Amino acid sequence: MKLPLFHNYRYLNKACIIRNREKELKADGSASDPWSLCSALQVVVLKSLIELLPMWSTGIMIAVTISQHTFPMLQTSTLNRCVIENFDIPLASFGLFGILTLTIWLTLYDRVLVPRLSKHKKNSRSGDWSENLHWCWAFHLLLGHCHNCIGGEDKKE
């Protein structure tokens, strides 16, 4: 198996350098102290986890929002939930709208937006993960602004 080469975090490569064979290696070739000597695979896995941390951390806010059930329940209890004459949307189903919206957006982003942007950028994807993350945050801010505008109109009525 060929390991990917990471140019970032080169200082972590020191964890797999053998300085003294007699002290750091056993007779079978394994590390005598696994906490001071790592394999190259362990270093590469750690580097890939470090690369994923910013992307993973952006999902924390979504998870916190979805897991907060009390505020949306209080908020939706004051809404007019009547869609059709005899049909009211149940309070507990309002959390589902956020999940459905997120699912639809991610599907459209991955299947529609990314392929179109990749044609203009002449590569297989629409850029690196940080550029994609910036576009997602810009879209998120735009949606927040629209939500505030709509909320302001509701308060005026």
Same domain, 15 and 61: no
- How many separate domains does the chain show? 2
Same domain, 96 and 141: yes
Say whether pTM exceeds 0.85.
Answer: no
What is the rounded average pLDDT for all residues in the chain?
Answer: 75
pLDDT tens per residue, range 17-60: 888 888 888 888 888 887 778 888 888 888 888 888 877 777 77
pLDDT, residue 19, reads 81
- Is residue 113 predicted with pLDDT exceeding 70? yes
Same domain, 64 and 132: yes
Residue where one domain finishes, among candidates 52, 77, 92: 52
- What sign does the dihedral 107-110-113-119 (CA atoms) show? negative
Residue where one domain finishes, among candidates 11, 34, 52: 52
115 half-sphere exposure, CB direction, 13 A CA radius: 5
Spatial separation of the C-alpha atoms in residues 30 and 101, rounded to whole Å? 51
Same domain, 11 and 31: yes
Spatial separation of the C-alpha atoms in residues 39 and 17, rounded to whole Å? 9
Same domain, 19 and 75: no
The secondary element (H helix, E strand) that includes residue 144 is helix 129-156
Same domain, 135 and 147: yes
Same domain, 71 and 148: yes
pLDDT, residue 139, reads 76
Q: Which domain holds residue 11?
A: 1-52
Same domain, 43 and 84: no
pLDDT, average across residues 88-114: 79
Same domain, 75 and 143: yes
pLDDT, residue 125, reads 53
Same domain, 32 and 101: no
